[in-house]
Amino acid sequence: MSNGSCVVIVGSQWGDEGKGKIVDVLAEEIDIVARYQGGANAGHTVHVGDDEFILHQIPSGILHPDRTCLLGNGVVFDPFQFFEELDEIRAKVPDAEQRVGVSGRAHLLLYYHKLLDRAAEASRGAGKIGTTGRGIGPAYEDKVARQGIRVADLRDAERAEQLLRRAAERINRKLESLDSAEKVDADLLVRDVMGVRERLLKLTVDTGRVIQDALNAGKRVLLEGAQGALLDVDHGTYPYVTSSNTTAGGAGLGVGIGPTMIDDVVGVVKAYTTRVGEGPLPTEFPSPLQEEIREKGGEFGATTGRPRRCGWFDAVVVRYAALVNGLTGLAVTKLDVLDGLEELKIATRYQAGGGTLDDFPGDLALLEDAKPEYESLPGWSEKTSEARRWEDLPEAAHRYLRRLEELTGVPIWYVSVGTRRDQIIHVKR
């Protein structure tokens, strides 16, 4: 990254692509890492030496000294989970709290949002959408309905208490309408929120101003999202999506800067495809390959522990992600998981609705009917986890990666062959 530059790191499949490890490696070159959307439903697993960190809200840049980490206005902010996470990090990174800032415009995600989330999902019956139950959807619903509570609203303690008690009454009526036995205790809610109020207000900043000033001073900024492009509320496989704009267009909005300040957008993809929860996955593996790749790749949610569904690399998906994000480069993760497979397949287009689809469809019924057309390439037997340079990779891996570039139209800048920092190969040319 050059001086005075801003790059967006965005998941370009259905989430869980390994964005955290890419952000962690790029953080060596940047000054500020800012999260622009989502909440504690995301999980970034990062290995530093023998230590493993699972980060839900705090950007993985916090694991590097002197980096400033911000949570933007586009985040739905769970203060209790945040401070629990921060205190765990402080055990090994003592100055972490001095390097974190939270937008005053970020909306609070409180425990009543989680009650609503679980009650709403239970009421859907067979039509459930696979929510994590972390309250993300209800928190964004409050935001859009203009009845949310923001971090900045805690400055006036008396007004904050009024807002919390009003919210408790409203949520209890809603829970009752969903036939939930749960109930919000207004006194407990007020006590808990007021208990973290002063500590949170000390961290409150205007993230847009901080980032703009940094860029004007020639510093380098990285904006990171949660989930993936196919979970974007507008551009994903609706309704099996999250409740925010995960794509790069949401990055400037989610931290408070204009789109002209963004220089590059790096899309993170696995060397295969996964998704967790409900919804279509056209290239899903059959058994026993499904279970083999899941175990080999450790494909279990960092936040929920749910098993991920796995499939062949879907170039239709990533071409679409490149379109809606304006990708300038790709980071391919977990190439090592494909070691030992004799044959690799790549979905190049779909057969659906009586015709051929080169583009990813917005019609869910059409997508559920889609049958991928595959291109086959030879696999490799060598262990790619030992590679540290592009030249160290097997020739068959070179051919596979080059074909991904050709089919997606995006150059590969990074390749990950393991979980450690030294297992990220820089291929940018």
Q: Identity (one letter) of the amino acid at 243?
A: S
The per-residue pLDDT for 278 is 84
Contact 126, 152 (CB under 8 A): no
Predicted pLDDT of residue 302: 65
| Distance (Å, whole) CA 205 – CA 210 | 8
pLDDT, residue 317, reads 98
User: What are the φ/ψ torsions at residue 183 (nearest 5 degrees)?
Assistant: -150, 140
Distance of CA 408 to the CA centre of its chain: 21
Which whole number is the average pLDDT over 76-97?
A: 94
Q: Is the pLDDT of residue 3 over 70?
A: no
Domains of the chain: 6-103+204-265 (3.40.440.10), 107-200 (1.10.300.10), 269-426 (3.90.170.10)
Q: What is the pLDDT, as a whole number, of residue 60?
A: 82
Tokens 């891996």 found at: 397
**CA terminus-to-terminus distance, the chain:** 13
Q: Which residues of 354-366 are buried (b: 16+ CB within 10 A; e: fewer)?
A: eeebeebbeeeeb
- How far apart are alpha carbons 351 and 358 in whole angstroms? 9
CA angle 262, 263, 266 (to 5 degrees): 95
Q: What is the pLDDT of residue 148?
A: 97
Tell me the C-alpha distance between 36 and 332, whole Å.
22
CB 13 within 8 A of CB 272: no
Q: What is the pLDDT of residues 248-279, one digit of tens each?
A: 999 999 999 999 999 999 999 999 999 988 89
Q: What's the mean pLDDT in 112-138?
A: 82
- Which of 16, 4, 6, 2 has the alpha carbon at shortest distance from 265? 6
Tell me whether strands 264-270 and 6-11 are parallel, antiparallel or unpaired: parallel
Tokens of 320: 């679409």
pLDDT digits (tens, 9 = 90+) for 368-406: 999 999 999 999 999 999 999 999 999 999 999 999 999
pLDDT for 256 equals 98
Residue 405, CA distances (Å) to 211, 384, 401, 421 in order: 32, 19, 6, 23
What percentage of the chain carries pLDDT values higher than 70?
95
The answer to whether residue 131 scores a pLDDT higher than 90 is: no
Cβ atoms 258, 252 nearer than 8 A: yes
Beta strands in 61-184 (DSSP E): 68-71, 76-77, 100-103, 107-108
Per the listing, tokens 């196919």 go with 230
**CA 28/CA 128 separation, integer angstroms:** 41
Under 8 Å between Cβ of 425 and 390: yes
Beta bridge partners of 333: 270
* pLDDT tens string 285-343: 999 999 999 999 999 876 667 899 999 999 999 999 999 999 999 999 999 999 999 99
Residue 49 has pLDDT above 80, yes or no: no
pLDDT in tens, 179-193: 899 999 999 999 999
Instruction: List, in sequence order, every beta strand (DSSP E) within 315-370.
Output: 329-333, 343-352, 355-357
pTM of the predicted structure, to 2 decimals: 0.92
Q: What is the average pLDDT across 129-150?
A: 89
Over residues 1-12, the mean pLDDT reads: 85
The better pLDDT of the pair 428, 214 is held by 214
Query: Picking from 2-11, 72-81, 379-388, which range would have the lowest pLDDT averaged per residue?
Result: 2-11
Residue 1: pLDDT over 80: no
What's the CA gap between 7 and 26, in Å, rounded? 10
Res 172 pLDDT > 70: yes
Predicted local confidence at residue 321, as pLDDT: 98
Residue 126, pLDDT above cutoff 80: no
Question: In the structure, how many helices (H) and strands (E) does the chain have?
Answer: 12, 20
C-beta of residue 398 within 8 angstroms of C-beta of residue 384:
no
Q: Tell whether the model's pLDDT for residue 363 goes beyond 90.
A: yes
Tell me: pLDDT of 429 over 60.
no
Measured at the CA of 273, the angle between CA 374 and CA 232, to 5 degrees, comes to 115
Instruction: Report, as residue numbers or ranges, the catalytic residues.
Output: 16, 44
Determine the pLDDT at residue 24: 85
48 pLDDT more than 80: no
Checking phi first, is residue 130 left (phi over 0); if not, alpha (psi -120 to 50) or beta? left
